[in-house]
Structure 1
Amino acid sequence: MKGKSKLFTIGLVAAWYSSNIGVLLLNKYLLSNYGFKYPIFLTMCHMTACSLLSYIAIAWMKMVPMQTIRSRVQFFKISALSLVFCVSVVFGNISLRFLPVSFNQAVGATTPFFTAVFAYLMTMKREAWLTYVTLIPVVTGVIIASGGEPSFHLFGFIMCVAATGARALKSVLQGILLSSEGEKLNSMNLLLYMAPIAVVFLLPATLIMEENVVGITIALARDDMKIILYLLFNSALAYFVNLTNFLVTKHTSALTLQVYYILTQVFTCYTGKKMAGSLESWMHHRVNTLCV
């Protein structure tokens, strides 16, 4: 049983790695290379897809039993998680407009540090001293590497740091909601309730800060229908990222998830640099293949 459990966890981590890298590169392509400069609307598309696909998976396909929200306090915690999640994704997407993927991920490598701090402040949970020691060279290395970044942009850097802190806080909050005996929700039900609340937060922000984005998207689609395919595929992939994110947190811990995230960032940095010159042609090739 232990062997099967380890294989299952490895499979979850691998699925999370691949989907996380894929959605990050596609976000970068849409927001920077393609010129679709609407990060809040893009995040709302992600959350809308998560709402619909979660409901289909639970209510129609019966993948897991549907759970109900038990109290106002639990609803408040889920709403807080949704708000923090929106902040992390929106700020992260905004930073991608100003920073290269490699630098964005280098800054994001400090997430385990923030996670350890928030975990201690909110749950008084202490990790082994060796865990904290291993975080020191990671943070130090990121600071040194960021110092000579030629593409440094102050606003993008601030957004990236804010997204990193919010991502760490989200991991701790979702770990509490997934493990608390009094308010325990399985990962798929948590996503089912969290995603619609996130849409409620994002809709007014989209209407106010990204005026007429729907009309602009329709106009873009008339010139290039591939934008619809990009958004649909990106949104579906975002659902898979969030689902595997919750599952990995449940089967490991918030801090372990963020340590895994560093490895994803290293691979993404390498992949992003290798694909920087050919990302647009690669995306067109993939979409043409999907159309066939």
Structure 2
Amino acid sequence: MGKGSALSDGLVKKIILSYTYVAIWIFLSFTVIVYNKYILDRKLYNWPFPISLTMIHMAFCSSLAFLLVRVLKLVEPVALSRQLYLSSVVPIGALYALSLWLSNSAYIYLSVSFIQMLKALMPVAVYSIGILLKKDTYKGNTMLNMVAISFGVAIAAYGEAKYDSWGVLLQLGAVAFEATRLVLIQILLTSKGINLNPITSLYYVAPSCLFFLFIPWIFVEYPVLRENSSFHFDFVVFGTNSICAFALNLAVFLLVGKTSALTMNVAGVVKDWLLIAFSWSVIKDTVTPMNLIGYGLAFLGVGYYNHSKLQALKAKEAQKKSQQADEESGKLLGETEGKDGVEGIGKKGDTQA
């Protein structure tokens, strides 16, 4: 009875911790999205410089990661050769820069709710790019699911009250670059056995990302900022915003490390609905019935996709356990046969004697 109770208590504790990790990630992701929207929106804080905001985040994250890795030595760096860094980390940093630049730019033109609806296309982009780069295989059922998600997002876009073609193009570009980055992480890093936690990820990737952001910043935003002499850097606003962005990176690692990437995908759907509700009720963005119908269809498609991935993971795990059981049975049978053979030889020798 006591043992069963202890197991029950342990299970309850694990469930509570999992929900805590999910809640922390949702809160921080929610905060960063709304905070960025507040800073970039012309009707709110009115600082429409997405490249500059992203560079502030990357500079802060790079500095803090360097402090933790090299100065305080709280985190061990990963051994990366110059060639591996240039061939693997740098391309990922470039894609990360493009993804952040375009996604933050979209907040100037689109509502928070509509951006979350467009982000439902992420599984479509990841699957499509995975096929193009030969990381994934084409499956008719999965592609039909991707078409259903795309159809739902198209309906949501058709019903958008404040539709802006340029904003949609920016967000779709951000989704494409982010999906490519995720696939390349699997190809360039995971396949080579390189695992980076959030601190080492920022330590290696953030400086590369900052460099690639600096190039367009010089030509696009720097001339405007130089002429805008009335602007004064607000350390409270940009400092707290950068801290939230850094904390979000830690929360991602905490959630995926303690639960799974699939849990984060499911939690992301919950976060999207919360953001849509917040955008409608607090920010007063217009959310039409057509928006909700379209996103509802996309939501069902994403939910089915996550369910399919979960079933595939369970099948893979069951197959792995079955193979391990067969190997153990084979070893046990071999040991038994070897023992019987030795005993048989011993008995034969005794008879001859």
TM-score normalised per structure 1: 0.79
Tell me, yes or no, if the aligned pair for 2:61 and 2:202 is still in contact at 8 Å: yes
Instruction: Work out the CA distance in 2 between the residues paired with 1:126 and 1:248.
Output: 28
Instruction: Work out the CA distance in 1 between the residues paired with 2:270 and 2:72.
Output: 33
Instruction: Please list the CA deviations of residues 30-61 of structure 1 after superposition, one character each: whole Å capped at 9, or x if unmatched.
Output: 11121101110000001011101212233344
* Per-residue deviation, 1:175: 4.2
Q: Equivalent residue for 2:59?
A: 48
Matched position secondary structure for 1:149:
coil
Instruction: Specify the code of the residue in structure 2 equivalent to 1:21.
Output: F
* Per-residue deviation, 1:71: 4.6
Q: Equivalent residue for 1:290?
A: none
Out of 179, 199, 212, the position equivalent to 2:190 is 179
Tell me, yes or no, if the aligned pair for 2:135 and 2:187 is still in contact at 8 Å: no
Instruction: Work out the CA distance in 2 between the residues paired with 1:182 and 1:57.
Output: 23
Distance 1:268 1:230, change over 3 A: same
Instruction: Give structure 2 stretches of 5+ with no counterpart.
Output: 1-6, 286-353
Instruction: Work out the CA distance in 2 between the residues paired with 1:20 and 1:164.
Output: 16
Moved more, 76-85 or 163-172: 163-172
Q: Equivalent residue for 1:88?
A: 99
Q: Equivalent residue for 1:39?
A: 50
| 2:273 is aligned with 1:262 | no
Instruction: Work out the CA distance in 2 between the residues paired with 1:162 and 1:169.
Output: 11
Distance 1:71 1:159, change over 3 A: same
* Per-residue deviation, 1:9: 5.3
After TM superposition, list the pairs within 5 Å mapping 1:220-239 onto structure 2. Answer: 220-221=231-232, 227-239=234-246
Instruction: Specify the code of the residue in structure 2 equivalent to 1:59.
Output: R
Tell me, yes or no, if the aligned pair for 2:89 and 2:204 is still in contact at 8 Å: yes
Identical columns (%): 25
Distance 1:111 1:83, change over 3 A: same
Q: Equivalent residue for 2:80?
A: 69
* Per-residue deviation, 1:178: 5.6
| 2:226 is aligned with 1:219 | no
* Per-residue deviation, 1:232: 0.9
Instruction: Specify the code of the residue in structure 2 equivalent to 1:234.
Output: N
Tell me, yes or no, if the aligned pair for 2:88 and 2:189 is still in contact at 8 Å: no
Instruction: Work out the CA distance in 2 between the residues paired with 1:9 and 1:216.
Output: 49
Distance 1:197 1:5, change over 3 A: farther
Distance 1:88 1:7, change over 3 A: farther
| 2:128 is aligned with 1:117 | yes
Tell me, yes or no, if the aligned pair for 2:135 and 2:183 is still in contact at 8 Å: no
Tell me, yes or no, if the aligned pair for 1:178 and 1:186 is still in contact at 8 Å: no
* Per-residue deviation, 1:91: 0.5
Moved more, 265-274 or 121-130: 121-130
Instruction: Specify the code of the residue in structure 2 equivalent to 1:13.
Output: V
Q: Equivalent residue for 2:315?
A: none
* Per-residue deviation, 1:145: 1.5
After TM superposition, list the pairs within 5 Å mapping 1:1-292 onto structure 2. Answer: 10-32=19-41, 33-122=44-133, 124-125=135-136, 137-176=148-187, 179-212=190-223, 215=226, 219-221=230-232, 227-246=234-253, 248=255, 252-253=260-261, 257-277=264-284
Matched position secondary structure for 2:230:
helix
Tell me, yes or no, if the aligned pair for 1:178 and 1:187 is still in contact at 8 Å: no
Tell me, yes or no, if the aligned pair for 1:110 and 1:138 is still in contact at 8 Å: yes
Instruction: Please list the CA deviations of residues 40-90 of structure 1 after superposition, one character each: whole Å capped at 9, or x if unmatched.
Output: 000000101110121223334444312232351343211111111111111
Moved more, 55-64 or 203-212: 55-64
Tell me, yes or no, if the aligned pair for 2:118 and 2:172 is still in contact at 8 Å: yes
Q: Could you say which structure has the greater relative contact order, defined with CA pairs below 8 angstroms and 6 or more residues apart?
A: 1
Matched position secondary structure for 1:110:
helix
Kindly tell me the number of residue pairs found equivalent between the two proteins.
Answer: 273
Tell me, yes or no, if the aligned pair for 1:12 and 1:247 is still in contact at 8 Å: yes
Distance 1:267 1:143, change over 3 A: same
Matched position secondary structure for 1:245:
helix
Instruction: Work out the CA distance in 1 between the residues paired with 2:256 and 2:188.
Output: 11
Distance 1:127 1:17, change over 3 A: farther
* Per-residue deviation, 1:236: 1.4
Distance 1:249 1:167, change over 3 A: farther
TM-score normalised per structure 2: 0.67
Q: Equivalent residue for 1:287?
A: none
Moved more, 7-16 or 149-158: 7-16
Distance 1:7 1:56, change over 3 A: farther
Instruction: Work out the CA distance in 1 between the residues paired with 2:180 and 2:17.
Output: 26
